[in-house]
Structure 1
Amino acid sequence: MERTKVLIVGGGFAGVECARGLERGLKSGEAEVALVTPASYELYLPLLPQVAAGVLTPQSVAPPLRRLLHKTTIVPGMVIGIDPHDRACVIELISGEVVKRHYDHLVLTPGSVTRSLDIPGLDEQARGMKTLAEAAYVRDHVIAQLDLAAASSDEADRAQRLQFVVVGGGYAGTETVACLQRLTNAAAKRYPRLDPSLIKWHLLDIAPKLMPELGERLGRRAQQILRERGTDVSLGVSVAKVDEDKITLTDNRVLPSRTLIWTAGVAASPLIGILDAETIKGRLVVHSDLTVPGHPGVYALGDAAAVPDLTKTEGAVCAPTAQHAARQGRHMARNLLATLRGEPRTPYRHKDLGLVVDLGGTDAVARPLGYELSGLPAQFVARGYHLMALRSVTAKARTVANWTLNAVTGDDFLRTGFLSRRPATLQDMEATDAYLTPERARELTR
C-alpha cells in the first residue's frame, strides 16, 4: 500500500517545525514527508543584523537542515507552481531541472520577501536584510564605503559614502541600524584619514512611533539609545526617490548617500499569488485549523498565511513573526497527525511570550510576558530567548562563543569582496521573479 505523501514547501521556522513534529509523531510507514527548500539550512532571521555587523558568523544562525531533520526527504529547489486540482507542485531544482511532485497533503510555508514599493530607483538601489546573502552583502558594502571614503580625495564623494540610511522602524530596521552603527563607530578608529563625526546613520519610518508594539515607554527608550549614539531618527517620513549617490525624502530633504538598507515590512512569498485562493494583503486566508478554504488537503501557515488570532478581536490575524511561525509549525504537525488518524483538528491559539530587541553591547529593550525591561536585564532576556529558539546545540554553542569573543576582543572589519562588481538587487537576492503563472503551472503538471 502506497504511503500518504506530505509535501512541505519552505524551510523556515514554520516548515521545519512542522517536519520535526511529524518526525516525532509519525508511526513507521504511516506517511512519507518531503520538504522543498532552495537552502540547506534553517535561517534564524532575528539575528541577521548581528551577522551583518560581524558579531555572529553565518553558521551560528543557519543550522543545517540535515542536522535538524533525519527522516524527512529534503528536496533542494523552489516550488514555482502549484496545481491543486492534480495535487501536484512544479519544482525547479537548484540544478535548473524542472520536475513535478504529487502530494496528498500540501503544507505551504514559503515565508515572505522584502516588501517593495513603487518608489523611483528603489528596486535598483535598495538592499534588503531578509536572507543570509543579503546580510553578508550589506556587511561588505558598509565596510567598503569606509575603505573608499578613506581612499577618496573628493569631499562630496566622501560625504556620500559615509552616510547610511535604513528605512523601517520595526525590529529588523532598528536592530540593523543599531548593530551596524556600532560597527562603523568602532571601525572609524582604524582609519586615520576619516573624521568619525562625518559617519552618519539615519533611521526612517513613516509611522509616528518606533516599534509601537513595545509600548510607549520602551519605544521611547530604544529611540533615545539610538539618538545618543548619533543616529538621526526621523518618524513620519519615508523615501520619495533613490539615486545612486543621493536619497530624496518625502519631506523634501536630500541625503547624499550610497547606502539604502530597506526593511520597511514584508510581503508574502510570490508563490501565494499563483494559487487561486482568497488573500488578505497578499497572505492566504486560512481557517483557525490552518486549512485553506476550498482547497482540500492544502494548509498554510507562517508569514504567507493570514492565520486568525483567536486571542484578539474578531478579524485579527497573527503577525508575521518567527514566534508565530514556529508555534504554527508545531500545531500543524499535530493537526496533520490527527487528520491521518481520522481525529479532529484543533484551532491554533497562542500565549504571547513578549518581544525582545537587541541593540548591541549592553543595550536592549524587552517586554517578556508583559514586563518592561531595558539595559542589561533586557539584554539577558533577549539573548536567552534567541538561544532557546535556535534549533541545534551546535548553533547555540557557536552563538555563545561569538558573543563572548566579540565582548572580549571587539569588532573586526573583514571585507570579503562579496558581489563587489555587481549590484545586489532585492529581486536577485530573494528570487522573486522565479514563479510561474497558474496556467503555466497546470501545463507542467499534466
Structure 2
Amino acid sequence: MDTVTRPRILVVGAGFAGVECVRRLERRLTPDEADVTLVTPVAYQLYLPLLPQVASGVLTPQSIAVSLRRSRRYRTRILPGGAIGVDLKSKVCVIRTITDEVVNERYDYLVLAPGSVTRTFDIPGLTEHAFGLKTLAEAAYIRDHVISQLDLADASDDPAERAARLQFVVVGAGYAGTETAACLQKLTHAAVRRYPRLDPALIKWHLIDIAPKLMPELGEKLGRSASQILRRRGVDISLGVSVAKAGREEVTFTDGRVIPTHTLIWTAGVAASPLVATLGAETVRGRLAVDAEMRLPGHDGVFALGDAAAVPDESKDEPGVICPPTAQHAMRQGRRAADNVIATLRGEPLRGYFHADLGLVVDLGGHDAVAKPLGVELHGLPAQFAARGYHWAAMRTNVAKIRVATNWTLNAIAGDDFVRTGFQARKSARLRDFEFTDAYMSPEQVREHLAATEQGNP
C-alpha cells in the first residue's frame, strides 16, 4: 500500500479567503510538493455581496454560486463537510461530513478560514422568528416569503392582517442590511402593480440599527445620499434603535414601538465561526489572534484569516487595529496566506499582510447606488456602473460572469414575474434553522473524541 509522504495542507472554509488560498496554492505548488484538501459542505464559492439581489429576484441563485470544480485545476481534494473541532497539539481536524459522519483529518499545515455566522443577541424570540441572509437557501426563502405576504394580504378581508403582512422590518443598516432593504423594497414596489386589490401605500419597509449613522464607512455625504434615496422610496429609517422582542406576528423596538409584521430580517453584523472556540487559542473580539503573517502564535504551520481571524491592519497608523470582516480583505488575505504557507514549506521568509483599500460600492436597486471607488464619490448611474462592474469583475469564472450579466440584462428589460418556487413552503427557515451553532465541539470534547478514536471507540 502506498504511503503519503508529501506534506498535507488542509484549508478549512470555501469563502473568499479559503478559495483564494486554494487557487493560489494550486497555481504556485507543483503536484509533488504537497497534497491540498479543502473542507467545505458545498462545492461552490458563494458570492455573498450579491445575496440581496438573489432575495429580490434580480439574480438567480445559481449565478452567484461559483463552482469550485469549474474554477480549480482539479488537484485539490474537496472533503464535503464542516470542521467542528481542531486539536492543534495532535494536528487533527474533526469534520462532520454531509452524511453526518464524524471523521478525523490529519494535517501538516492548517489554514483556518471558516468564516462567520450571524451575530445575534439575547433578544427574546429573535432566533425563532427572524430570517437571516447568509446562505442561498435563506435568500431564496426570503424571496418566497415576501411574495407570499403579498399573496396572503391580497386574499385577506381582514384590514389588520393585511396591514401586518405588508410591513417588513430589516435590522442592520450596514451594507448587507441596507442593500437588502433597498432591493426588497424595489421588489414589493414593482410587484404590487400586479395586485389591484392592494393599496401600495400600505407597504412599509423599516430599516433600523442601534448605530447613529447609516453605513458610516461611506462618509457623511454618501451616507446622507443613501438615506435620502431610501426615504424617498418610502423606507422608514430608525437609527439608535434595535429590537427588544420578536414575535410571530409583531416586533417590539427598544423605543417602545410595536410593529405588526410577519417579516423580520436580521443582518446586524457577523461573529467569527464557533470553530474558533474549539482551539482554546487566544482571541481578539472573538476572532483568532494572529500576527501580520497570519500565523497562529505558538503553533507552527497554522494560519488563520478572513472573518475568523483578527489580522492586524498594517495600513493604519494606530496600533491594535484589526482588519474588518469584508470580502476585499478576505480575498487578499487568502492569497498572502497561501504565499506564506508555501514560504514555510520551502524554508523561505514570510511576508506580512498589507491592505490598500479599493473603496466601497453599495447597490440600492434599479438605477440607485452610491460608491466610493479609490476615494471618488459617485451617485446614481455612475455609482451603479461602478458597483456592478466591481462585482462582475470579482466573479471567478467566465460562466459566472455570463450568468450574472444575462440576469441583470433580462431583469432590466423584462422585469420580474414574482413567482414563488414553493420548494421550502413547509419548512421553517429562521435563524436557528441555518446557523447550526450547536454542532461544534468544545476543546475538551475534541480531546475526548480523539482519545476514543485511538481506542477504537469513537
User: How would you bin the TM-score normalised by the shorter chain?
Assistant: over 0.9
Greater shift, 386-395 or 436-445, is seen at 436-445
Shift of 1:291: 0.3
What is the CA RMSD across the aligned residues, in angstroms? 0.9
User: Does the CA contact (< 8 Å) of 1:131 and 1:430 recur in 2?
Assistant: no
User: Does the CA contact (< 8 Å) of 1:7 and 1:33 recur in 2?
Assistant: yes
1:410 to 380, 399, 415: 415
Residue 45 of structure 1: aligned partner: 48
The residue type paired with residue 202 of structure 2 is L
1:421 to 419, 426, 432: 426
Shift of 1:197: 0.7
The residue type paired with residue 397 of structure 2 is S
The residue type paired with residue 67 of structure 2 is P
- CA distance in structure 1 between the partners assigned to 2:410 and 2:424 by the alignment: 28
Residue 97 of structure 1: aligned partner: 101
Among all aligned residue pairs of Structure 1 and Structure 2, give the percentage whose two residues are the same amino acid. 67
How does the TM-score come out when normalised to structure 1?
Answer: 0.99
Shift of 1:102: 0.2
User: Does the CA contact (< 8 Å) of 1:166 and 1:173 recur in 2?
Assistant: yes
The residue type paired with residue 421 of structure 1 is R
Shift of 1:96: 1.3
- CA distance in structure 2 between the partners assigned to 1:269 and 1:46 by the alignment: 19
Shift of 1:28: 2.8
- CA distance in structure 2 between the partners assigned to 1:377 and 1:445 by the alignment: 56
User: Does the CA contact (< 8 Å) of 1:109 and 1:301 recur in 2?
Assistant: yes
Per chain length, whose mean CA-contact separation is higher, i.e. which structure has more relative contact order (CA < 8 Å, sep 6+)?
Answer: 1
SS of equivalent to 1:147: helix
1:316 to 316, 321, 325: 321
> Does structure 1 residue 191 correspond to structure 2 residue 195?
yes
Ranges in structure 2 where 5+ consecutive residues have no aligned partner: 452-458
- CA distance in structure 2 between the partners assigned to 1:178 and 1:193 by the alignment: 24
SS of equivalent to 1:148: helix
Residue 8 of structure 2: aligned partner: 5
> Does structure 1 residue 55 correspond to structure 2 residue 58?
yes
SS of equivalent to 2:211: coil
Greater shift, 432-441 or 200-209, is seen at 432-441
Give matches, 1:144-293, under 5 Å.
144-293=148-297
Shift of 1:38: 0.5
User: Does the CA contact (< 8 Å) of 2:93 and 2:106 recur in 1?
Assistant: yes
- CA distance in structure 2 between the partners assigned to 1:323 and 1:210 by the alignment: 20
Shift of 1:238: 0.9
- CA distance in structure 2 between the partners assigned to 1:419 and 1:185 by the alignment: 24
- CA distance in structure 2 between the partners assigned to 1:403 and 1:54 by the alignment: 10
Which runs of 4 or more aligned residues in structure 1 lie more than 3 Å from their structure 2 counterparts after TM superposition?
none
Task: Output one character per residue of 1:276-318: Cα deviation in whole Å (capped at 9) or x when no partner.
Answer: 1111111111000000112222110000001000011110000
Task: Output one character per residue of 1:53-87: Cα deviation in whole Å (capped at 9) or x when no partner.
Answer: 00001111111111122211000001111111110
The residue type paired with residue 204 of structure 2 is K
The residue type paired with residue 429 of structure 2 is A
Shift of 1:7: 0.2
1:29 to 29, 32, 36: 32
Q: Count the aligned residue pairs.
A: 446
Residue 447 of structure 2: aligned partner: 442
User: Does the CA contact (< 8 Å) of 1:162 and 1:200 recur in 2?
Assistant: yes
Shift of 1:438: 1.2
2:366 to 356, 361, 364: 361
> Does structure 1 residue 74 correspond to structure 2 residue 84?
no
> Does structure 1 residue 332 correspond to structure 2 residue 330?
no
Shift of 1:363: 0.7
User: Does the CA contact (< 8 Å) of 1:8 and 1:107 recur in 2?
Assistant: yes
SS of equivalent to 1:164: strand
Task: Output one character per residue of 1:26-61: Cα deviation in whole Å (capped at 9) or x when no partner.
Answer: 023100000000112100000000000000011111
Residue 300 of structure 2: aligned partner: 296
Ranges in structure 1 where 5+ consecutive residues have no aligned partner: none
User: Does the CA contact (< 8 Å) of 2:359 and 2:375 recur in 1?
Assistant: yes
- CA distance in structure 1 between the partners assigned to 2:285 and 2:236 by the alignment: 31
- CA distance in structure 2 between the partners assigned to 1:118 and 1:28 by the alignment: 49
Shift of 1:346: 0.5
SS of equivalent to 2:438: coil
User: Does the CA contact (< 8 Å) of 1:54 and 1:412 recur in 2?
Assistant: no
Shift of 1:195: 0.7
- CA distance in structure 2 between the partners assigned to 1:134 and 1:294 by the alignment: 39
User: Does the CA contact (< 8 Å) of 1:3 and 1:29 recur in 2?
Assistant: yes
User: Does the CA contact (< 8 Å) of 1:110 and 1:271 recur in 2?
Assistant: yes
